[in-house]
Amino acid sequence: MSDAIKGNILTPAGWIHGEITFNQRIAAISGASADPALNEAAYILPGFIDLHVHGGGGKDVMEGGDAVRTIAAIHAKHGTTSMLATTMTAPPEDIDIALKGIGAAAAERRKGEARVLGAHLEGPFINSGKLGAQPPYARSAKLADVRKLEELAPLRVITVAPEIAGHQELVKELSDAGMRVQIGHTLGTYEDGVAALAQGARSFTHLFNAMPGLHHREPGMVGAALAHGTYAELIPDLLHVHPGAIRTALRCIPNIYCVTDSTSATGMPDGEYMLGRHKVMKCMGGVRLPDGTLAGSTLTMDQALRNLVGLGLDLADASARVSTYAADYLGLSERGRLAPGAFADFVVLDRDLNLKAVYIEGELL
């Protein structure tokens, strides 16, 4: 027996005022094209997809074990229906522990959890001179190193600093192997970025953060992204990136998708938490190292959507940036959109964009 819900449904063809019928997947969408501003029905949007999640609910991905499951459940309550659990730069044994936990969660989604699609390996193949909040365990890599890690969990996204010796070749090898390579935690030049894109890199890790900024005579990695990028992550918590810079990126890079870069402090009171091997402090809405460096966020994807709308994006555009573009980037045609045959991953929001319900593969949380 199928379930059904009614409202203003955002489909790939536009808004429909009608009904979705579904089980694990969407069976049908019926109704007529409509302007949602002309009625008071709830909004039904594709479930949020977050490709950069370090923690939540007091748990950190690097703990391994069932920590990822707690994190997936916390973010599901905020509308995230699919996610990538994200590692920190760390000693090899720590990364192995984290990936084993990610692999187990990716193999089986339990009731109440967001679908863990695999891992985002944010470290350790980054530049030690641009760690940001990453612990000091950066190192270079060869394809064989990554292949060994891939035995522990699906590696969907890998952040690489392309200026490190041998990493331009690594970008090509990883891209040819079907992995999504992102440029991040880098001191690379504009030219390094353009070369990495030519080798197959597809995106930029938390654009603007932990990379050289734009200067009119030295465009830097931000310049490479703005001039040549098709995809890029962006953290719209309004702390990591100024609204003016967000608007600049939205005008330049067609498929900007938003991530939380959330930490174990997400959903928790102010206090001290762990981010990999770092102790971080949550206070005044942010998460920082003792020296004041931003160390991830406490952002959730429902708040990311509201922040984008607050910046002036219409709801359909904002929805694409917290769902569809991330799915497209990973090549997931059955997620990130409301269409017959797609997974029944969607969120129901009231007129103030507060969550009323979350469905993950047809399950009502």
Q: Which residues are catalytic?
A: 261
C-alpha 210/C-alpha 189 separation (Å) is 13
* Helices and strands in the chain, H and E counts: 10, 20
User: Which SS3 state, helix, strand or coil, does residue 317 take?
Assistant: helix
The whole-angstrom separation of Cα 118 and Cα 358 is 21
Query: Which residues are CB-contacts of 59 (< 8 A; sequence separation ≥ 6)?
Result: 67, 68, 70, 71, 74, 264
Task: Please give the distance of CA 213 from its chain centroid, rounded to a whole number.
Answer: 22
Going by C-alpha positions, the residue among 216, 203, 297, 294 that lies closest to residue 256 is: 203
**What's the distance, Cα to Cα, between the start and end of the chain in Å?**
18
Contact 53, 71 (CB under 8 A): yes
Q: How far apart are CA 266 and CA 227, in angstroms?
A: 34
Q: Which two tokens stand for residue 81?
A: 């229906």
DSSP string, 235-277: --SSSSS-HHHHHHHHHH-TEEEE---B-TTTTS-SEEEEETT
- Spatial separation of the C-alpha atoms in residues 55 and 280, rounded to whole Å: 12
